[in-house]
Amino acid sequence: ELETLLGDTERARAIYELAVTQPRLDMPELLWKAYIDFETSQGEVARARQLYERLLDRTHHVKVWMSYAQFEMSHGAAEDAEIDKIALARRVYERGNIALRNLGEKEERVLLLEAWRDMEVNQGDDVTVQKVESKMPRRVKKRQKVTAQDGTDEGWEEFFDYIFPEDEATKPNLKLLASAKAWKKKQEDDKPEEMSTNET
């Protein structure tokens, strides 16, 4: 901060670089945020974008994705190109949705989709809002068996789960595969019966 106040931006940048490359940090998210804010305050949008990309190489936390999308809405493309800002933010939201889906982070994914939907309501049109709405999950109540550390049953526990339309689209393929396996097993089970009836 002292270097920034003195106007020595190169030295401040070098200190930030040294700090973010440290293997163990107490609160790395605050440091990365300060570094990104520093670059943004210097008008270095491209450098700030590179910092977000470097941070996403280390973590896929939902807050990073949301902050990056908000950054693109505020500082994306050219100042007069509102469409480009929205497109850049959409691209970040899409990448975040895919990353969180691959990691199986359902609650974080819901938070990301809600933020994306809010952006589309404010900046998009009916088509783009509907596109995000079609990605929103259903919330379902489920039960799971609870077992103690010693292995005894302690009853059932209810919890909420999210079922995403994209995830459901892959399930019919699994059901078809299971049906095919069941049919094949039935065919194999029926063969010995046919052989025994043919022998008599």
CA distance linking residue 82 with residue 36, whole number of Å: 22
112 in Cβ contact with 66 (< 8 Å) = yes
CA distance linking residue 87 with residue 127, whole number of Å: 14
CATH number assigned to the domain comprising residue 67 = 1.25.40
What is the pLDDT averaged over residues 1-8?
Answer: 56
Q: Of all residues in the chain, what percent carry a pLDDT higher than 90?
A: 44
Based on the domain organization, do 9 and 98 belong to the same domain? yes
Q: Which residues pair with 163 in a beta bridge?
A: 138
b vs e for 104-118, b when ≥16 Cβ sit within 10 Å of the residue's Cβ?
ebbebbbbbbebbbe
pTM of the model: 0.74
What SS3 state is found at 109? helix
**pLDDT (tens digit, 9 = 90+) per residue, 73-98?**
988 665 545 558 899 999 999 999 99
Residue 4 buriedness (CB in 10 A; 0-12 / 13-18 / 19+): middle
Based on the domain organization, do 120 and 142 belong to the same domain? no
Considering the domain boundaries, does residue 179 fall inside one? no
Based on the domain organization, do 98 and 150 belong to the same domain? no
Q: Does position 54 have pLDDT exceeding 50, yes or no?
A: yes
**pLDDT (tens digit, 9 = 90+) per residue, 118-147?**
999 999 899 999 999 999 998 888 888 888
